[in-house]
Chain A
Amino acid sequence: MARIDDDIHDAGSTPRAFTLVEVPLETVPADLAVVTPPASEKRRRGDVFRPGPGPMVQFQGVIKRYDGDVRGLDGVSVSIAAGEFVFLVGQSGSGKSTFIRLCIRELRATSGHVIIGGRDLGELKRSKVPYLRRAIGCVFQDFRLLPDRTASENVAYALQVTGHSRQEVNRRVPEILALVGLDGKGDRLPRELSGGEQQRVSIARALVNQPRLLIADEPTGNLDPDTSQGIMDLLTRINRTGTTVLVATHDRDTVDRMQQRVIALHKGRIVRDAEGGYNEDPGDTGEIA
C-alpha cells in the first residue's frame, strides 16, 4: 500500500503546472506567464498534494451505489493522462456528476479504485481531503460564488484558505482576474456581473492555486451559446498551459465544435471513449433516475 501521507508531507520543489514556458501557441496571451509563482513561495507542512507520474485520473472498476440500489456508476474503468482535454458526456443521471464527485472525494467508491495523480482516494485520510481539493480546481454550472463578496474577494478566498500571505493575495488576484478577462471588474459583486463573467470568476478561483487538474461540471449550462464559446476558449487556453481539463457537459454543440476526446456515460457505464463529436445517444432519450 502506498504511503500517501509521506508523499504529501514531502515539500520538495517541482515545476508547477502553471509554468507556461513550453507553450507554443499564439493563442495564449503573454500575461499568462505572470501567474508562475515565485520560487520563494512558502510551502507548509502537509500543504502539497503533488501528482506523481502516470495518468492524472484513473478509474479501476469503479462502482458507486447510492442508498437503496440506485447505481451512480456501474463498473467504470478509464484513464485520463496529464495534459489531456476530455469531455464527459451523457444525459442527466448517466453518472457524470457521480464521476466528478468521486474525483474530489465528495463521494467514496462503493468498490473499485479512484486514483488521482497516482493516489488512491480510497486510502486518503479524511484529514488530507482538503489538500486533494487544493490540487484540483472545480467549476460548477451554478458558479458557487459567495454572494456577499466581490469578485476579488471570492478569488482571494481560495488563496487565504491555503495560507497565502496578504501581499501574495494582493499580487495574484488581479493577475488571475486579468487572465480570465475580468480586468478592472474585481470590485463588483457577483450579482453585478453577467453569467459569463460570474463563471469566469469561478474559473479564476479554481485556477488561482495552480491546480494540475481542472474539473468543470456543466460550466456552460446556464450560459448562452456565445458566452459558452468564450468560456470553452478559456478552458482550452488553460489546458494548453499543461493543466488537465475534464469537462462534464451535455452541450452537444460545444463538444462537436471542439473535437476532443469524449467519454460518453449511459446508466453508469462508459458506452464510448473516442475523439470527435458528441455522437448519437446509444440509449433511449428518456430521463434516467
Chain B
Amino acid sequence: MRLGMFFREALRSIRANAAISVAATVTALIAVFILGAFIPSFMYVRSAVSAQTSKVDVDVYISDTASVKQVNALRDKIGTLKTDGQVAEFTYVSKDDALRLMRERLRDPSVLDELPSNPLPAKFNIQPTDPANANAIVAAVKDDAALDPTEGIVYPQTTADRLLTAAKFVQWAGFALIGILLVAAVLLIGNTIRLSIFARRREVEVMRLVGATNWFIRWPFMIEGVICGLVGAVVAVAMLWGIKVGVVDAWASGADTALTKTGSAGGAIAFPLLTVVLVGAGALLGAVGSGITLRRFLRI
C-alpha cells in the first residue's frame, strides 16, 4: 500500500514537473547511450589486442651449411620444449617453402626470377603457448649448431612486450573511463533532479512539518529518478540496437575486413547481456543521483 502511494506521488511529481522530468530522462539516455556504445567498443579493442598478443612467434633460422643430422637435433630440441608445454606448435619451413611464401607476398614476384640462387634460409616457426614463454624458448635454442650465423633467431621481443603492456593499459583505461562516465552520469542526473527537488522544496518543507520521516520523503524522489533512468536507458538501448543492426552487423557481414578478423567473436559482449547491464545502470543512476541530491535537503 505504501509502495503504491510512493509510486503515485512519484508519477504526480513527474507530471507536475514534466520539463524537468524530460531533462532527467534525456540525461540518463545520453549517459546510458555513451556507456552502451563504449562497453562493446572497449571489449572489441581488448579482444583485438589479445589476438595480436597471441600471434607472437619465434623464427629460428637454419644455416645453409647445417647437416641433416644437426637440423634433426634442433627439431628434437624444439620437440622437447613442446612436450614441456612451452611451445604450442612449430613447423619446419624449407628454403623452397620460404621462397614460395616470399613469392606469394610480393606484388611483383618476377623480381625473384633475377636471383641466381635461393638466398632465403630454412627455418623453424615456433608458436609459444604464451607470449611470455618466448624468452625461455630463445634461451634454449640460441647456441644450437644448426643456427644460421647471420639471421640466428628472430622474434618480436619488443613487440611482444609492447603488446602485453598495451593490453593491460587498454584494460585499465577502459575501466577508468567507464568509472568516470558513471560518476559523470550520476552527477548529471543528480543535478537535474536537484531542479525537481528545488521546485518542490516547499513541499519537502511541508512534509517535514507534518512529521514525515526522511525515508518517507526520499522514496517518491528516488522512484522518480529510477523511472527517468529506466525510460532513458530503454530508449538508449533501442537506439544502440538500431545502430548495431543497421550499421555494425551490415558492415561486419558485408566485407571480410581485417578488423572483423582480428576481433574474435568471444570478445564482443552479447547484446541481451548488454541490455540488462545498461537498463540496470540507468535505474541505479536515477536512484543514486536523486538519493545523493536529497541529502542536502533533509538536514534537520
Contact = CB atoms under 8 A, between A and B. Distances in A.
B16 A158 contact: no
A161 B1 contact: no
B16 A161 contact: no
A133 interface: yes
B205 interface: yes
A289 B205 CA distance: 25
Contact of A134 (B2, B202, B210): B210
A157 B300 contact: no
Given A144-B202, A148-B16, A165 B210 contact: no
Interface in B191-222: 202-203, 205-214, 216
B5 A160 contact: yes
Interface string A98-138: 00000011100000000000000000001101111111001
A161 B216 contact: yes
A163 interface: yes
Contacts of B211: 130-135, 158, 161-162, 209
Contacts of A145: 206
A158 B1 contact: no
Interface residues of A, number: 27
Contact of B212 (A106, A161, A205): A161
A166 interface: yes
Interface in B281-300: 300
B213 A130 contact: yes
Nearest to B213: A130
A193 interface: no
A157 B1 contact: no
Interface string B25-56: 00000000000000000000000000000000
Interface residues of B, number: 18
B16 A205 contact: no
A144 B212 CA distance: 15
A163 B207 CA distance: 13
Given A106-B300, A144-B205, A161 B2 contact: no
A157 B2 contact: no
Q: For chain B, what secondary structure do more than half of its interface residues adopt (helix, strand, loop), or is it mixed?
A: helix
A146 interface: yes
A73 to B, nearest CB: 18
Q: For chain A, what secondary structure do more than half of its interface residues adopt (helix, strand, loop), or is it mixed?
A: helix
A144 B213 CA distance: 18
Nearest to A157: B210
A158 B210 contact: yes
Nearest to A147: B202
A233 B105 CA distance: 105
Interface string A71-93: 00000000000000000000000
Given A146-B203, A166-B1, A161 B300 contact: no
A157 B213 CA distance: 13
A133 B203 contact: no
Interface string A144-171: 1110100000000110111101100000
A226 B202 CA distance: 29
A156 B213 CA distance: 16
Contacts of B213: 127, 130
A158 B203 CA distance: 12
A144 B206 contact: yes
Nearest to A161: B212
B10 to A, nearest CB: 14
B6 to A, nearest CB: 10
B300 A163 contact: no
B300 A133 contact: no
B109 to A, nearest CB: 83
Given A144-B205, A148-B16, A163-B2, A205 B210 contact: yes
Contacts of A158: 210-211
Nearest to A166: B1
A240 to B, nearest CB: 24
Nearest to B4: A166
Given A130-B212, A130-B213, A148-B16, A161 B207 contact: yes
Interface in B231-284: none
A103 B280 CA distance: 44
Contacts of A165: 1
Contacts of A205: 210
B291 to A, nearest CB: 17
A209 B212 CA distance: 12
Interface in A4-24: none
Given A158-B211, A161-B210, 16 more contacts: A126-B300, A127-B213, A129-B300, A131-B211, A133-B208, A133-B211, A134-B210, A144-B209, A146-B206, A157-B206, A157-B207, A157-B210, A160-B5, A161-B207, A165-B1, A205-B210
A-B complex: 6 closest residue pairs judged by Cβ atoms: A134-B211, A133-B211, A158-B210, A161-B212, A130-B211, A130-B213
Interface of B: 1-2, 5, 16, 202-203, 205-214, 216, 300
20 contacts: A126-B300, A130-B212, A130-B213, A131-B211, A134-B210, A135-B211, A138-B209, A144-B202, A145-B206, A146-B202, A148-B16, A158-B210, A158-B211, A160-B5, A161-B207, A161-B210, A161-B216, A162-B211, A165-B1, A209-B210
